[in-house]
Amino acid sequence: MLVEKLSENEYCIDIFSLEECQQLAVAIARQSLVPGCIALAGTLGAGKTQFTSFFAMEIGANPEEVSSPTFVLLHQYNTTPPLCHIDAYRIVDEDEFLEIGIEEVLENDCITIIEWADRFPDLLPRDHLRLQFSNVDSGPHQRRVHAISTGSRSLAWLTSSLNRLPSKLRSQDKT
């Protein structure tokens, strides 16, 4: 895994295997701040659901119960801390997103992970952790994760998580 700091609140993380995806998810899960929101973005198959699965298992979810909530839109897991997993792929517009109760979910004392969150940026909390997943052509499990914190809480969450990764820093700073 390679981590590059792009700015004070932005990192580029190259992961080369499923094990490294799991390491990233575990590091972020172990540093969770409640309430907290992780906004996931990326194309189909980029690793959003896999990341969420690793995250959920780290905080106590049954691996057999963790799946993409594409057809039911929302899964809640009885974990510590509680986890709410939302998949906004099939949500048509902001009104529908509001109808499923996104505002109430985000007010709960839980971690909320939203796949396809980039479709509804105006409904996200002001301070959240944004992870943009992209495929890299050099390997079937290689991904690039662009991580951005949007406020002081998510910055603390992101930096403390990255400091716990078993990685070498590719570059100290690109700013």
pLDDT digits (tens, 9 = 90+) for 48-67: 989 999 999 999 998 878 77
pLDDT of the residue at 100: 85
Whether 174 shows a pLDDT value over 60: the answer reads: no
pLDDT of the residue at 79: 94
- H helix runs in the chain, sequence order: 18-30, 48-58, 94-99, 102-107, 152-163
- For 17-26, 33-42, 97-106, which range has the lowest pLDDT when averaged over its residues? 97-106
Give the integer Cα–Cα distance in Å for 110 and 104.
11
Domains plus CATH for the chain?
Answer: 2-168 (3.40.50.300)
Name the average pLDDT for the chain. Answer: 89
pLDDT digits (tens, 9 = 90+) for 126-145: 999 999 999 987 777 899 99
